[in-house]
Amino acid sequence: MNTDIQTLLDTGIIIIDKPPGPTSHEVSSWVKKILHTKKSGHAGTLDPNVTGVLPVALNRATRLLPYITKDKKSYVGILKFSKQINKDAIISLFNLFTGRIIQLPPKMSAVRRRQRIKNIDNIKLIEIKDKRVLFQADVEAGTYIRAIARDISYMIGNCQLEELRRIKVGSIDEGYAVKLQDLVDAYWLFENKGDDSELCKMIHPIEEFINIPKIIVKNNAVEQLAHGSPLFIPGVKEFENFEKDKEIILFTESGRMIGIHKTVVSSEEIKKINKGMLSKPIIIILPP
């Protein structure tokens, strides 16, 4: 097996274009079976009837899913009203659900049912056709669009969410998404023809989508870090600006991800000193 594809299958993430019908867990399980990996996990549960962007991490990369799930989400959907409603009324209605709102998750949801505060960046009207309204919603992670539709229905009468599609998770948009059948075909090509080119296009290094400061460490520090040692300032080769008590992601000089650390100093502080501890390990991905 090619080293590059081995690394991707062990610490990669694939963005599935989830079809309507199966649960997110079922889709994640299918990916594991298709790719013959030991573990898989998904970022951000989609209801069975909801389609779109579903990140599925493989093997060691599943430990990094929290850094994907906390990102903002974008959806497009269709609301069907019991009567025709004009553009101004829709815009006014959507404005009521923009900003900080209190939301009670639907009865059938993946979280405990209690009131929670969520931030809605935007609910934008795209098109009105008869009694149907096409919209886009940009929301904080953990926001339920079904709950917004339910609350709108309480306010103005019968209204139901006919269709919903997630189009973005953080920096991951629909352009990355692949269909399950295309993944099956790509793995067949790899397994039977030794051609991993299509598979390598579909599986991404998970660090590509983790937006925290990056540190490149010197080669002589890598082995100890892979065993879970703290990072000391002399082991740093390059760094982006970072704050104290924040998470950073470590890489080898060759570009391999080591893992996630939490800093004990800031980048401004290490410019003034040349020894001491920089960070402590949280998650180690690089095999020792």
At 140, list the tokens.
């904080």
**Gap between the Cα atoms of 248 and 236, Å rounded:** 13
Which residues have C-beta within 8 Å of that of residue 250, sequence separation ≥ 6? 214, 215, 216, 217, 225, 231, 257, 258, 259, 260, 261, 279
| Residue 242: closest CA among 207, 220, 216 | 216
Specify whether 47 is catalytic.
Answer: yes
- Residue in 4, 17, 47, 196 annotated catalytic: 47
**Gap between the Cα atoms of 280 and 248, Å rounded:** 10
| Residue 58: closest CA among 71, 39, 74 | 39
Amino acid in the structure at residue 44: G
**Gap between the Cα atoms of 120 and 285, Å rounded:** 34
At 235, list the tokens.
């082991």
Query: What amino acid positions are annotated as catalytic residues?
Result: 47
